[in-house]
Each structure stands twice: as C-alpha cells, then as structure tokens.
C-alpha cells in the first residue's frame, strides 16, 4: 500500500463520479445523484488517506515534510481542495448539477498528476529555503483560493450555457437538458460568493508569501514573475468584486470574468514555472 | 462648479477603479515576459538595437519602478482616497441614523415580518419584550410614538466601515513601501569564514553601503543529504560595534539576525579552495588556527611545525576528505587523511598533535534595512480584517411596533427586520428570534 497507489485509485474514482454526473445530466436520472455524491466523497476520503500516507512516507525516508512542496504534491492538493470545496458548496446550496462542471477539474488534475511523464512523483528532500512553517500556510491559503476560483469558473460555464441556450427559441431535447441547470440568478450569486471566498484566501496566500519572503530574503515583494502573476490574478478578482456596483457588469460579464480569472490562475500556477524564469522555478507551483 | 463636480465624480467612480486595475494587470504582464534589471547590453543583444532603444524610453528594464507605472499606482491611490471621502459621509450617516425615527408604515413593507398579539398592556409588553431581546443578545432602545411604542435593536452597524478599512489598508501598504524604498536598502555580501566587513553592496547598483558597525563570520557549516544536495547551512555571525562584540548568533535560511534595524539573511554560500586548519599541541593544549591555500607548505615557526594540504577528495566543489602532510621539528613527516571538518591525533615525541582541517567557505548574506516593513504588515492585517468585515458581517436591524389591541386592551405586536448581507441566514435567525419573543421557545 503506497501513497501513489491510493492516489491512482483516487484518479479513477473521480472519473467515475464525473461520469455519474454526465449520466444524470444526459438522462435526467436524478435518482443517481446520491450515488454520485457518495462516489465523490469516497474519492475524497481515499485521496486524503493518500496524501496523509505520502506525508508519513517522507518521514519514513528521513526527509519528513508536508506533502506540498513540488508540482506533483501541489496538483494533488489542488484537486483535493476542489473536491472538498465542491462538496461543501453542494451541501450548502444543493445545485445538484454543479458536479458536472466542478469534478472534471478535480479529475483532470489527478490524471495529470498521476500519469504525466513530465512531473516527478519522487519524495525529494527540501532545500533549506523551503524548510519553514510558512510553506504550509502559504501553499494552503493559495490553493484554497485557486480551488474556489476553479469552482467559480465551472459555475461561469454553467451560467453561459444556461443563458445561451435559453435565449433562443429552441424546442425539444436541448431545452429539457438545460432545465437541470438552476436559474441564472442563483448561479450568478454562487459565482460571486465563490469568487469572494477565493479572493480572501488568495489575499492571505499572497500575504503569507510576502511575509515568508521577507523572513527568508529580506524582501516582501520583488516583482518576480510568480509574484507578479499572482497579483494580476488578484487584480482580476478585485475587479469582479466591484462588478456589482457597476451597471452592465453583472450577469454574462461576470461569468466571463470567472473564466478569465481561472486562465490567469492556471498561468500563475503552472505557466510561470514552465514559460518564464525566476525565483519560483522550484517547480513547486 | 459643474466642472469640479465632474472631475470629482470621475475620481470617485468605480469605473476608474476597474480601468486602473485592468491597466495595472495588463502592463504587469510585460515585466514578466521581458526579463527585468538586466544590463543594457543584454537587451540590445536579445531584442536588437531598435527594440532595446524603445524599451529604454519606456523604462521597460525596470518597469515596476518606471514613471508611467508609478503614475498608474498614483491614479489608483487618488481613486481610493477620493472615493472614500466621497462615500464615507453617507456610510457614517447610515451607521448612526436614528433608527427609531423610521415611519411605521415602512415596517409593513419589510421582507422579514411577523405579527402577533399579547394580552398585557403596551407598557408591560414593551418591558417584557425588551428583556427577552436583551437575553437573546439584542440591546434595545425605545420611544413613544403617535400610534404606540417603538423598540429598536441593531447589530453590526460598524460593518459598513469594512470597505473603507480595505481601501485604507491598500494606502497603508503603499506608504510602507514608499518609506522602505526611500529610507531602506537591500544588498548582499559574500563574507569568507573568519573575516569581517563593515560594508555591503547594493543589489542593483553594486555601490557599497556602510553598515555603521562590523559583522564577522566566525564559522560556516553546511550539512548535506545523502544525495549530495545541501540540507542545511548556517553561519555563526558576530556583530562588533566600536570594537566591542555586541551579539553573536547562528543564522540559517529563514532565520536571520537583526541589529540596529539592519537584518542579515543566510542566502547562499560559496566554496573556496582554501582550508581552515587547526593545530592543537597536547597535553598543554596550545593551539592555533590557520587559513591556508591548497597544496602550499605552511609554517608554525614558534612550534617548529611545517604542514600543508597535499590532496583532497570531493563531490563537485564540495570537499569530503583532506590529506594533510605535517612535520614536527626533526620527527619524520606524517601524512594522513581526515574527513572534512574532523581531526586526527598524531603522536609526536612526547606530545600529541591534533590536526583538524575543514574546507573554507564564504557565507552569502543578503542584507536589508526596511523601516517601512511593519507598516506594510499592518496594511496586510487591515486588509484581511476589512475584507472579512465588509463581506461577512452584516448590519442587522430589528424593530418592534407595539400598539394597543383592537379592543383597547392588550398589545398588537409587529416585528420587522432587515439585514444588509446574507439574506437567507438572516431570515433563519429572524424566525428563531420571533419564536423566542412569542414565548414558544425559551
């Protein structure tokens, strides 16, 4: 029993959960909903065990550290937070169809982590710069923010789909499919709420990064590409928070901003490491 | 007059904020794809002379300190200041409004509303309900009005200030950053073991900066993982002011030393091809420490000892084992290996000579002085607090209108409420409170 085995199982369990939601959506088989939620919850439990086991394995190797320090570990944690946030939102708001739009991200992240040849799954020792408690605070706050933004983008997609198809006078099959998606007002409110939640966590993430940088290098901000892109992402979501007070920026523009924001998040998380150079190319995400 | 109003309105507008944030976001991208702070020649080589010239004009190599970027930041600051001045009076008024002056008809229009009757007369009912409210954590005030008695209780009015705290926090961070950049400095120094310095070198310009005191590197150690990667490296630093040693501390990465507002961070190190050799002659324990180059014969004339490092083994530029040659007086010379940092005891005549050898390093320190950093941290805390208050604390208001009952006896009670945020949550707590006031729940 190794952590990579557990995390591999997790990947396929998320796939199963996603397929359940596709089935529910296509066949309007709402009775399958409880099963789909159960599968998702089981996947999350197995994933939690996998992460915990990897933490333990690092100590067994004598180089113990929290499993948040390289690309593999961060992608796994990202997927975990998406699934957790999705389940919490579903429990509170019961949108039912949100799983179809949020879980694919959790699955894709795990699939990339588990099967891509481009990233190393090895548990590696930490360089001195990463040996700090700020690592845990900074990574967790950033990824909770990223996960909330991912859910917001999924909701944005849901919103655009709903108003696009409902706008036209389509009859028959497609109209019925879209009936499963809740009313645009409700989705818009959820987009706003998840963006707001993500924004506060991202703010905390940027701040913990700055405080850590200052205690390690004496500079809380050095316009390093990773730092700058996290600020760009922060600006985008700061704009969305003001959208409610500006005519014409609610509804469709908000949904598009949610998607644009996620693109910025992905570039901040991933693009910077691979396309740009700088301090953060530890590859830790 | 109208002109000034328009200008004021422009600077107070949300649209300006959106424009400025968009501009900052887009222009910031440039500095991430065009590497910053490289020498001029690098840009000419990489982009060609025409583009490099264009970059120079716009100050692209240091764009985050460029005149136009600072103008954008200034625009954002002006926007923050003016929109706060513009809207604060209204928020203050709403916060401190006389809630008991509300027209009773407005209560009928509120989304959260419940009505019931009580047998007791208005005065007693008012006292009873006031007490129950207090028990539920709502402090109430009352007033006699034309139609009866009006009670009001409110919570979280101060949450209306949350947004101003957020906006001010950004300004606080800016001020902290400005103070740091004018009154502070950032630099580096590579300090070999055993040496000291009173100067460091500025990051960008490499001009020397005087510390005002002396910093000494007593020793430097580095531990490695089995795979050869550095696991931990630390320096023992000593601060000397006016010739006196003030403090001595071991620093490592993430654990710096601060003295008189200047902080020294363990940032890197450099391996030298020199060695630090310590020779101790027992049993008298007379010893001396030498810094010697590789493969060069050295002397300790007072003790008639000649020695040198004749060979070394290592991984990369890291030395693991050292071969020492030593001759004491007329005794036959001995050659022996020691592990880096360890010693060997060589019997010689009636004495024992303990020789240890260690690769010499220079410790790479980053040095910074930033008087504004605490202001920046304060701004960060304010921002988090402000965001929480602005978005998660709601201004909740409750009114109880008590009028004499239809038949003249008893009281007709109208409970109405409004919450500025989280309507569904407020609806739930309103319902619970209504039950409690009606006496159905204790």
A125 within domain boundaries:
no
What is the distance between the alpha carbons of residues B205 and B183, in angstroms, rounded to a whole number?
16
Q: B247: domain CATH number?
A: 2.60.98
- A81 exposure class (CB count in 10 Å sphere: 0-12, 13-18, 19+): buried
Most confident residue range from A179-183, B122-126, B313-317, B397-401: B397-401
Same domain? For B287 and B151 the reply is: no
Choose the closest CB to A228 out of B28, B368, B391. B28
Task: Give the count of alpha carbons within 13 A of A41, CB side only.
Answer: 10
Of all helices (H) and strands (E), which one includes residue B96? helix B67-96
pLDDT at A76 over 90: yes
Q: Record the pTM.
A: 0.89
Do B154 and B395 contact (CB within 8 A), yes or no? yes
List the B298-300 sheet strands across, edge first. B298-300, B305-315, B318-328, B334-339
Same domain? For B198 and B243 the reply is: yes
Q: Residue B241, SS3? A: strand
What is the distance between the alpha carbons of residues B78 and B376, in angstroms, rounded to a whole number?
19
What is the distance between the alpha carbons of residues B257 and B99, in angstroms, rounded to a whole number?
56
Q: State both tokens at B87.
A: 């809207």
Question: Predicted confidence band at A171 (pLDDT cuts at 50, 70, 90)?
Answer: low
CB contact (8 A) between residue A223 and residue B64: yes
DSSP state of A271: I
Chain A nearest C-alpha distance from B48 (Å): 20
Choose the closest CB to A215 out of B256, B267, B391. B256
A80 within domain boundaries:
yes
* Strand B305-315 to B298-300 pairing: antiparallel
Chain B nearest C-alpha distance from A206 (Å): 10
Establish if A235 touches chain B: CB-CB under 8 angstroms: yes
What is the distance between the alpha carbons of residues B291 and B303, in angstroms, rounded to a whole number?
17
pLDDT in tens, B239-278: 998 888 889 999 999 899 999 999 999 989 998 889 999 9
Establish if A129 touches chain B: CB-CB under 8 angstroms: yes
Query: What pLDDT score was predicted for residue B138?
Result: 93
Residue of A5, A78, A124 lying closest to B227 (CA atoms): A124
Residues 6+ apart with CB under 8 A from B21: A235, A238, A239, B76
Same domain? For A151 and A68 the reply is: no
B38 within domain boundaries:
yes
Residues within 8 A of B (CB atoms), A 192-221 only: 196, 199-200, 203-204, 207, 210-212, 214-221
Give the pLDDT mean for B6-32: 93
Domain boundary among A92, A117, A142: A117
Q: Residue A79, SS3? A: helix
pLDDT at A149 over 90: yes
Establish if A232 touches chain B: CB-CB under 8 angstroms: yes
CB contact (8 A) between residue B254 and residue A200: no
B68 within domain boundaries:
yes
CB contact (8 A) between residue B383 and residue A129: no
Choose the closest CB to B263 out of A127, A218, A235. A218
Same domain? For A155 and A35 the reply is: no
Establish if A239 touches chain B: CB-CB under 8 angstroms: yes
Virtual CA dihedral for A254, A259, A263, A265, nearest 10 degrees? 70
Give the pLDDT mean for B2-20: 90
B37 within domain boundaries:
yes
Give the pLDDT mean for B430-434: 92
Task: Residue A185: count other Cβ atoms within 10 Å of its Cβ.
Answer: 10
pLDDT at A168 over 60: no
Q: State both tokens at B47.
A: 């982009």
Q: Residue B12, SS3? A: helix
A123 within domain boundaries:
no
A200 contacts in chain B (CB < 8 Å): 384, 387-388, 391
Do A243 and A156 contact (CB within 8 A), yes or no? no
What is the distance between the alpha carbons of residues A75 and B68, in angstroms, rounded to a whole number?
37
Peptide bond into B283 cis (omega under 30): yes
Choose the closest CB to A239 out of B18, B225, B229. B18
pLDDT at B441 over 80: no
pLDDT at A278 over 70: no
Residue of B247, B165, B166, B174 lying closest to B213 (CA atoms): B247
B258 contacts in chain A (CB < 8 Å): none
* Strand B318-328 to B148-155 pairing: unpaired
Same domain? For A103 and A219 the reply is: no
Q: State both tokens at B30.
A: 């440039």
B230 contacts in chain A (CB < 8 Å): 127-128
Find the closest chain A residue to B31 by CA distance.
Answer: A225
What is the distance between the alpha carbons of residues B18 and B33, in angstroms, rounded to a whole number?
24
Same domain? For A202 and A112 the reply is: no
Same domain? For A170 and A104 the reply is: no
Residue of A226, A210, A205, A202 lying closest to A152 (CA atoms): A202
Q: Which domain holds residue A45?
A: 1-117
Q: Which residue has the tokens 């290996």?
A: B337
Of all helices (H) and strands (E), which one includes residue B132? helix B122-135
Same domain? For B104 and B249 the reply is: no
What are the beta bridge partners of residue A116? none
Same domain? For A145 and A208 the reply is: yes
Q: B130: domain CATH number?
A: 3.30.310.80
Find the closest chain A residue to B380 by CA distance.
Answer: A207
Give the pLDDT mean for B130-147: 90
CB contact (8 A) between residue A246 and residue B14: yes
Q: State both tokens at A153.
A: 């983008």
Q: What is the mean pLDDT of chain B?
A: 90
Question: Predicted confidence band at A97 (pLDDT cuts at 50, 70, 90)?
Answer: confident
What is the distance between the alpha carbons of residues A95 and A190, in angstroms, rounded to a whole number?
10
Chain A nearest C-alpha distance from B122 (Å): 41
Question: Predicted confidence band at A255 (pLDDT cuts at 50, 70, 90)?
Answer: very high
Optimal mutation site among B34, B181, B254, interface A, most CBs of chain A within 10 A: B254
Q: What is the mean pLDDT of chain A?
A: 89
CB contact (8 A) between residue A225 and residue B24: no
What is the distance between the alpha carbons of residues B311 and B196, in angstroms, rounded to a whole number?
29
Give φ, ψ of A132 to 5 degrees. Answer: -155, 150
pLDDT at B442 over 70: no
Query: What pLDDT score was predicted for residue B78?
Result: 96
B205 or B271: which carries more pLDDT confidence?
A: B271
Give φ, ψ of B311 to 5 degrees. Answer: -155, 160
Q: State both tokens at B91.
A: 């928020």
A126 within domain boundaries:
no
Choose the closest CB to A196 out of B267, B380, B391. B391
Residues 6+ apart with CB under 8 A from B192: B217, B272, B360, B361, B362, B363
Most confident residue range from A223-227, B171-175, B297-301, B389-393: B171-175
Q: State both tokens at B299.
A: 């002397």
Residues within 8 A of B (CB atoms), A 90-119 only: none
Query: What pLDDT score was predicted for residue A284?
Result: 45
Alpha helices, H only, chain A: 3-27, 33-60, 71-93, 98-115, 133-167, 173-178, 184-217, 225-242, 252-266, 272-275
B225 contacts in chain A (CB < 8 Å): 63, 125
Same domain? For B233 and B284 the reply is: no
Tally: H helices and E strands in chain B = 10, 19
Same domain? For A210 and A99 the reply is: no
Give the pLDDT mean for A159-177: 68
Chain A nearest C-alpha distance from B166 (Å): 11
pLDDT at B119 over 80: yes
Choose the closest CB to B387 out of A200, A214, A225. A200
Ramachandran assignment for B423, one of left (phi > 0), alpha (psi -120 to 50 degrees), beta (any other): alpha
A124 within domain boundaries:
no
A208 within domain boundaries:
yes
A122 within domain boundaries:
no
Same domain? For A74 and A158 the reply is: no
Give the pLDDT mean for B137-146: 91
Residues 6+ apart with CB under 8 A from B353: B279, B280, B281, B282, B305, B326, B328, B345, B346, B347
Find the closest chain B residue to A233 by CA distance.
Answer: B25
Residues 6+ apart with CB under 8 A from A56: none
pLDDT at B323 over 80: yes
A175 or B49: which carries more pLDDT confidence?
A: B49
State the total domains in chain A: 2
Optimal mutation site among B12, B15, B18, interface A, most CBs of chain A within 10 A: B18
Chain B nearest C-alpha distance from A200 (Å): 7
A204 contacts in chain B (CB < 8 Å): 384
Q: Which domain holds residue B225?
A: 182-271+364-383
Domain boundary among A117, A142, A172: A117
Query: What pLDDT score was predicted for residue A177?
Result: 64
Same domain? For A41 and A168 the reply is: no
pLDDT at B409 over 50: yes
Same domain? For A179 and A152 the reply is: yes
Query: What pLDDT score was predicted for residue A33?
Result: 92
Same domain? For B262 and B373 the reply is: yes
Find the closest chain A residue to B176 by CA distance.
Answer: A220
Same domain? For B296 and B375 the reply is: no
Angle (nearest 5°) at CA B339 between B250 and B248: 15
Same domain? For A55 and A185 the reply is: no
Domain boundary among A86, A117, A148: A117
Chain B nearest C-alpha distance from A84 (Å): 21
Same domain? For B295 and B353 the reply is: yes
What is the distance between the alpha carbons of residues B277 and B324, in angstroms, rounded to a whole number?
10
CB contact (8 A) between residue A127 and residue B367: no
Q: Which residue has the tokens 């009028």?
A: B403
pLDDT in tens, B60-117: 999 999 999 999 999 999 999 999 999 999 999 989 999 888 888 899 889 899 999 8
Query: What pLDDT score was predicted for residue A273?
Result: 84
State the total domains in chain B: 4
pLDDT at B342 over 50: yes
What is the distance between the alpha carbons of residues B381 and B383, in angstroms, rounded to a whole number?
5
Residue of A89, A109, A108 lying closest to A99 (CA atoms): A89
B389 within domain boundaries:
no
Same domain? For A49 and A14 the reply is: yes
Same domain? For B337 and B400 the reply is: no
Virtual CA dihedral for A265, B22, A274, A127, nearest 10 degrees? -70
Question: Predicted confidence band at B303 (pLDDT cuts at 50, 70, 90)?
Answer: confident
CB contact (8 A) between residue B376 and residue A276: no
Choose the closest CB to A220 out of B231, B265, B373. B373
Same domain? For B10 and B62 the reply is: yes
Same domain? For B302 and B420 the reply is: no
Return the number of CB contacts < 8 Å for A and B: 100
Same domain? For B259 and B196 the reply is: yes
What is the distance between the alpha carbons of residues B259 and B200, in angstroms, rounded to a whole number?
14
Same domain? For B249 and B292 the reply is: no
Chain B nearest C-alpha distance from A191 (Å): 15
Q: Which residue has the tokens 């429990």?
A: A91
CB contact (8 A) between residue B230 and residue A232: no
Residue of B342, B333, B339 lying closest to B312 (CA atoms): B339
B172 within domain boundaries:
no
pLDDT in tens, B358-392: 999 999 999 999 999 999 999 999 999 999 999 99
């Amino acid at each position: 029993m190794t952590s990579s085995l557990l995390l591999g199982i997790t990947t396929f369990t998320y796939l199963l959960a996603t397929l359940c939601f596709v089935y529910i959506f296509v066949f309007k088989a709402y009775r399958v909903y409880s099963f789909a939620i159960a599968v998702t919850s089981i996947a999350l439990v197995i994933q939690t065990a996998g992460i915990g086991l990897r933490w333990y394995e690092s100590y067994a190797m004598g180089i113990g550290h929290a499993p948040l320090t390289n690309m593999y570990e961060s992608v796994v944690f990202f997927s975990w937070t998406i699934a957790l946030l999705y389940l919490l939102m579903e429990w509170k708001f019961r949108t039912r169809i949100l799983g179809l739009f949020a879980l694919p991200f959790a699955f894709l992240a795990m699939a990339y982590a588990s099967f891509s040849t481009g990233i190393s799954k090895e548990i590696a020792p930490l360089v001195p710069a990463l040996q700090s408690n700020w690592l845990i605070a900074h990574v967790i706050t950033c990824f909770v923010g990223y996960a909330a933004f991912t859910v917001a983008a999924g909701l944005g997609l849901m919103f655009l789909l709903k108003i696009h198809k409902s706008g036209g006078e389509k009859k028959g099959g497609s109209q019925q499919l879209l009936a499963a998606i809740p009313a645009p007002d409700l989705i818009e409110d959820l987009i706003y709420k998840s963006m707001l939640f993500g924004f506060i966590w991202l703010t905390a993430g940027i701040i913990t990064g700055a405080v850590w940088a200052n205690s390690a290098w004496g500079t809380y901000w050095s316009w390093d590409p990773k730092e700058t892109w996290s600020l760009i992402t922060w600006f985008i979501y700061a704009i969305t928070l003001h959208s409610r007070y500006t005519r014409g920026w609610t509804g469709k523009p908000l949904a598009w901003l949610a998607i644009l924001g996620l693109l910025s998040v992905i570039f901040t998380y991933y693009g910077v490491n691979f396309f740009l150079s700088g301090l953060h190319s530890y590859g830790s995400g | 007059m109208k002109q000034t109003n328009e200008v004021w309105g422009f600077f107070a507008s949300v649209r300006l904020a959106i424009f400025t944030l968009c501009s900052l976001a887009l222009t910031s991208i440039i500095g991430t794809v065009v590497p910053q702070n490289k020498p001029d020649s690098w840009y000419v080589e990489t982009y060609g002379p025409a583009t490099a010239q264009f970059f120079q004009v716009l100050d692209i190599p240091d764009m985050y300190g460029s005149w136009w970027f600072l103008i954008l930041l200034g625009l954002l600051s002006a926007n923050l200041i003016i929109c706060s001045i513009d809207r604060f009076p209204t928020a203050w008024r709403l916060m401190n409004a006389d809630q008991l002056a509300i027209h009773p008809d407005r209560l009928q229009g509120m989304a959260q509303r419940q009505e019931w009757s009580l047998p007791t007369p208005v005065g007693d009912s008012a006292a009873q309900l006031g007490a129950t409210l207090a028990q539920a954590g709502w402090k109430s005030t009352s007033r006699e009005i034309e139609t009866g008695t009006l009670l009001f209780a409110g919570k979280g009015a101060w949450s209306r200030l949350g947004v101003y705290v957020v906006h001010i926090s950004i300004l606080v961070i800016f001020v902290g950053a400005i103070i740091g950049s004018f009154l502070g400095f950032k630099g580096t120094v590579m300090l070999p073991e055993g040496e000291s310095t009173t100067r460091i070198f500025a990051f960008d310009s490499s001009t020397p900066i005087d510390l005002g005191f002396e910093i000494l590197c007593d020793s430097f150690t580095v531990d490695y993982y089995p795979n050869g990667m550095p696991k931990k490296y630390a320096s023992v630093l000593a601060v000397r002011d006016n010739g006196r040693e003030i403090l001595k501390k071991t620093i490592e990465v993430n654990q710096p030393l601060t003295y008189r507002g200047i902080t020294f961070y363990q940032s890197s190190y450099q391996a030298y091809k020199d060695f630090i050799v310590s020779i101790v002659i027992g049993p008298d324990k007379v010893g001396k420490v030498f810094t010697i180059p590789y493969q060069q014969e050295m002397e300790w004339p007072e003790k008639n000892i000649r020695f040198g490092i004749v060979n070394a083994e290592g991984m990369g530029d890291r030395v693991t084992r050292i071969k020492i040659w030593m001759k004491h007086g007329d005794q036959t010379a001995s050659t022996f290996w020691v592990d880096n940092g360890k010693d060997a005891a060589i019997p010689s005549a009636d004495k024992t000579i303990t020789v240890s050898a260690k690769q010499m390093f220079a410790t790479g320190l980053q040095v910074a002085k930033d008087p504004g950093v605490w202001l920046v941290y304060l701004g960060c805390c304010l921002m988090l607090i402000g965001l929480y208050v602005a978005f998660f604390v709601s201004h909740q208001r409750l009114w109880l209108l008590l009028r004499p009952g239809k038949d003249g006896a008893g009281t007709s009670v109208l409970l109405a409420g409004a919450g500025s945020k989280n309507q569904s949550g407020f609806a739930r707590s309103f319902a619970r409170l209504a039950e409690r006031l009606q006496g159905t729940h204790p």
